[in-house]
Structure formats: structure tokens, C-alpha cells
Structure 1
Amino acid sequence: MIETAKDIGTEAAARAEDLRRVYGRGGAAVHALNGVSVNLAPGTFTAVMGPSGSGKTTLLHCLAGMDRPTGGSVWWGGTEISRLPERRLAELRRSRVGFVFQAFNLMPAMTVAQNVELPGRLAGERPDRRLVLDALARVGLAGRERHRPGQLSGGQQQRVAIARALVARPRVLFADEPTGALDRATGHEILALLRAGVDREGQTCVMVTHDPVAAGYADRVLLLADGVLVDALDRPSAAQVAERLSRLGG
């Protein structure tokens, strides 16, 4: 196992042990993950990279409780989530993790505030206006709560998506190519925001990316190939990430 916690004496914010995920059966089976173990320390920023088909998005989805592993286990703190009933897992997802996608997934007819409130409303919860406004302020959108997504730039829409993920004060934020739909300058703004959440708020962030420059914002970069964790780089430069990735065919 490649140790992925800053301090192995600290309980991990999230961890996977001997994680396996197989899609299909028999000769058509695809082994997306094949015995991956990772240990993610609280208050750290981890980037997950690898060639197409390496298993990086599958790993993120399993760690976030959005996909069930075929074998092995996933833990959030001291709670094993991989065998929980779906209802209990859904409850924990709402309270303990947040997720940001490449697509902003905002409702165009709703205001910014209503978009941030939406996951809680769908769960039958009454939104706390103060928490919504605080989440928007944290991402630099104070005063924009009554705007609609179409009135915002792409970068601002992604900030709304991040605020939506942060409103429940999750312990871990998972991000799947969060800058993939943005130009480079706007992407840097989003990455700096994620980095600030780690440094100032103690947020734990796990991000899948194909961009070595984006990975340069992370404390650690995990490299996967063919469903296996093959390397971990501590605070690498973008050039170091690009060089190592090129050797994997990414």
C-alpha cells in the first residue's frame, strides 16, 4: 500500500482498503479497480490522476459513496460505509461529504440561493438562510443570491456548485474535473478557492483531474494505471506531474 496520509497517527477523513470494482461478468468483465488502498488525512488536498480508463473516477465515486465496490471497504472516519443500507448511506452523504462535478448541474429557473438550498429541500429539510448566505460568501458570491445561473459567468456558476456542496459543512469535498469546462484563468480561480478551503477551513478535498497544472495545487497526487495505484507524489510541480504521467501513457 502506498501510504497517503500526512500523519499515519491521524484518523483518515476517508480511506479505502483493498478496493475492487468490477463491471460486467465473465469475459466481458472490466476490472476498474484492482486492490486499491488509500488513506486521506484530514485537512489535505489530494489529486487523483491517470490515463483514460485507469480507474480514477471510479475510485472517486467509491470513496464518495456514489458507487458500491465489488470488494474491499470504504471508511469515512471510523464509519465503514461500503456495506451500509442505501438509505443510511444517503443520509451520511448529505451530512458528511460534498460533491462538485465538471458540469455545474444548476437549475436555470432557480435563483443562486435556491440552487444552493436544493439538496436539502430534496431531503425534506428546511433550509437555513444563514448557512446558504455563508456558503455563498465563502466562495466570493455574497450579494448574488437572487441572480439566476444564466446571469453568471461559467466560473461563477461553478462557485455556486461549490457553495451547494459546502452548505452542509461536509468533512470531505469530492471534485470530479471541476475545471474541465472552464478556461484556464477561471480554472485557476476555482482551484485557488479549493486550496483556500483546505488551508483556511481545514476542508479535506479529493479531486480527479487530467491537468498537471491543476494537480500542482494539491498536497499529494495519486497516480493510477489499469485499476492499480502505482505512485504518490508529494507537493509536486506541474512539470513533475506531467513527466510522471507521460510515462504512464496519460
Structure 2
Amino acid sequence: MAEMATGTGTGVGAAARAEGLHREYGRGAAAVRALRGVSVALAPGTFTAVMGPSGSGKTTLLHCLAGMDRPTRGSVWWGGTEVSRLSERRLAELRRSRVGFVFQAFNLMPAMTVAQNVELPGRLAGRRPDRHRVLEALDRVGLAGRERHRPGQLSGGQQQRVAIARALVSRPEVLFADEPTGALDRATGHEILALLRSGVDRGGQTCVMVTHDPVAAGYADRVLLLADGLVVDELHRPTAAEVGERLSRLGG
């Protein structure tokens, strides 16, 4: 499997990469330096977990990589496109077509059917729904035949599967997941993590996930550990115990 470079982050052929990423909030003495020169590259078809203590910069890194937040300095690339300097309009267009998002909160519309929820981002972008793609995405997450259900008729795990189908329907190059199992019980969380893992192994999906759970991180090919806005360690196909032990050193 292709590797993910860290450090200088040249990242030739990377699905997404950051080079010299800084993100500061506020100014002067009160400024918070969330990221302090982070360079990472995510190889296509890999699963990366990002971990660290509270305030380490892990969510800020994910949001910058996903184009949801702009770095103060440095650059973000999706393939050969530098997205950190694009206009908001162009960035929004690329986000809808090239990346997908899954969050802890499912963010489903309760009055809409499952199929309508999956179609929603495309409709908001002014695209006519592709029924075949919608059904294909639902089948991929194990919800074939549930397209007419409402979110309230589904379990929490099934609702998260709808959210994943919604993220996958545009066939994104990279799937960004922010604590995707945080609102689920452990057994259901394992099902969602296995689904993400399968997307990487069988579908060639690139996935990057922020998590606080060492067990969740154990599904990843690599784990990046952040502290004080810097990548301070990296683990390759670790066990949950190895992740927990290394995280405890950082105070996570």
C-alpha cells in the first residue's frame, strides 16, 4: 500500500497535502497558534487517523485540509490543485465535487427521506439527482431498500450510514471524517469504522479521520499524533494498545 509522507510533505501524487501549515486565531498577545508549520501528505487509497490531546490542532488540521478553514500561512493541495488560494465560490464548487464530509452529528433532515438526504448536496449545488448513484451509495453502506425511510425510523448507526452515503454519492477523492463514531455505542461504532476501512481496501477511497478513540485509530493505516500544533509522532498500522500508550505520553 502507498505510504503517506510527513515532515517536508512534498507529497507528489498525494490525494491531499498540506505544506507549512500555520493557523492562528486572534492577534497579538492573545493569538492562539492552532497549527505551527504542519506538512503532511495523504497517499491515495490510505486511511489516516489524526489524534492528540484537546487543543493539539487535530480538528483545525482536518478543517484546513478539507477546505473548511483557511490557513494563516502555508498551502493545501487536492491532487495538483492548490485550494488554499481559491476564491470562496471556486472552493465551494471543488468541495462539492472532490471531497466528502462525515461528522459526529449526522446532520440529516428529519422531514426528508433517506434518498432525499443523500441527494441534498447535489440539489443545493444545482445538479439534477442521479437516482442510480444514490441507490448505489446506499447499497454500498448496507442500506439498500431503505431509501424511502425517514431518519427517525433508523437507528443511530443507520443514520450515520446515510451520512456516509451522502458523502460518497459524488464519488469524492478524499473522505474527511470528524469523530464519526463519537455519538454511537461501541458496537455500532465498530460497524461504521469497518465500513470506512472497507471503502479504503475495496473501493480505493482515501480517508482521513479525527478521533480521540485508540480503538478507532487502530483501523487506520497510519496515525498522526499532534501536540501544540505540531505533528510529533506517527504510527504505522498500530494496535489500539499502542495508540493508547503513545497518546498517554502526550496527555491525551
Q: What is the TM-score when the length of structure 1 is the normalising length?
A: 0.97
C-alpha displacement of 1:146: 0.1
Aligned counterpart, 1:151 = 153
* Alpha-carbon separation, structure 1, partners of 2:233 and 2:85: 28
Tell me if 1:203 matches 2:205. yes
C-alpha displacement of 1:27: 1.2
Structure 1 contact 99–174 (Cα < 8 Å) conserved: yes
DSSP-derived class of the 2:202 partner:
helix
Aligned counterpart, 2:42 = 40
Match of 2:31 among 22, 29, 32: 29
One-letter amino acid of the counterpart of residue 161, structure 1 = A
* Alpha-carbon separation, structure 2, partners of 1:200 and 1:236: 20
Match of 1:167 among 166, 169, 176: 169
* Alpha-carbon separation, structure 2, partners of 1:4 and 1:118: 35
- Give the aligned CA root-mean-square deviation in angstroms: 1.3
* Alpha-carbon separation, structure 2, partners of 1:26 and 1:67: 20
Match of 1:50 among 52, 57, 70: 52
DSSP-derived class of the 1:74 partner:
strand
C-alpha displacement of 1:10: 5.5
Structure 1 contact 15–38 (Cα < 8 Å) conserved: yes
Match of 1:228 among 203, 227, 230: 230
CA offset digits 1:19-63 (Å, max 9, x no partner): 000000111100000000001100000000000000000000000
Q: Mind listing any 5+ residue stretches in structure 2 that lack a counterpart?
A: none
DSSP-derived class of the 1:169 partner:
coil
Q: What is the TM-score when the length of structure 2 is the normalising length?
A: 0.96
Structure 2 contact 20–39 (Cα < 8 Å) conserved: yes
Aligned counterpart, 2:69 = 67
* Alpha-carbon separation, structure 2, partners of 1:142 and 1:236: 33
Aligned counterpart, 1:179 = 181
CA offset digits 1:202-227 (Å, max 9, x no partner): 00000000000000000000000000
One-letter amino acid of the counterpart of residue 90, structure 1 = A
* Pair 1:140–1:127, CA change in 2 (3 A): same
Aligned counterpart, 1:116 = 118
Structure 1 contact 4–41 (Cα < 8 Å) conserved: no
Q: Mind listing any 5+ residue stretches in structure 1 that lack a counterpart?
A: none
CA offset digits 1:91-123 (Å, max 9, x no partner): 110010000000000000000000000001111
